[in-house]
Amino acid sequence: MVKRRIIWTKSAQSERKEILMYWFNRTQSKTYSKKLNKLFSERVKLLSKHPKIRDYLIFYEFTKTELIILSIWDTKRDEKNTEFSYT
């Protein structure tokens, strides 16, 4: 497995900070922002090891007891070349 160096662009760093500040201001606590920052770091590390994981989008809803998968989208699939209807 290739080890990749993670590089955050200035705009990505700014966006990340903006998201964390939003949640800090909304909750008046650093707890959620710290958890979210840790989540960002973990996911980016996972992507650095498995960069093709980004080829799928999973849309979902959740309740206290369920995770409901609404759709899975293969971002590399050509919608015109499939028998499946997306409508």
* Domain boundaries of the chain, sorted by first residue: 10-81
Structure tokens at 51: 């960069």
pLDDT at 34: 96
d(CA 21, CA 9): 18
- pLDDT by residue (tens digit) across 9-55? 999 999 999 999 999 999 999 999 999 999 999 988 888 887 777 67
Closest CA to 3 of 51, 39, 42: 51
Q: Is 17 helix (H, G, I), strand (E, B) or coil?
A: helix
Query: CA 68, CA 59: separation in Å to the nearest integer?
Result: 9
Q: How far apart are CA 7 and CA 51, in angstroms?
A: 13
Residue 75 has pLDDT above 90, yes or no: no
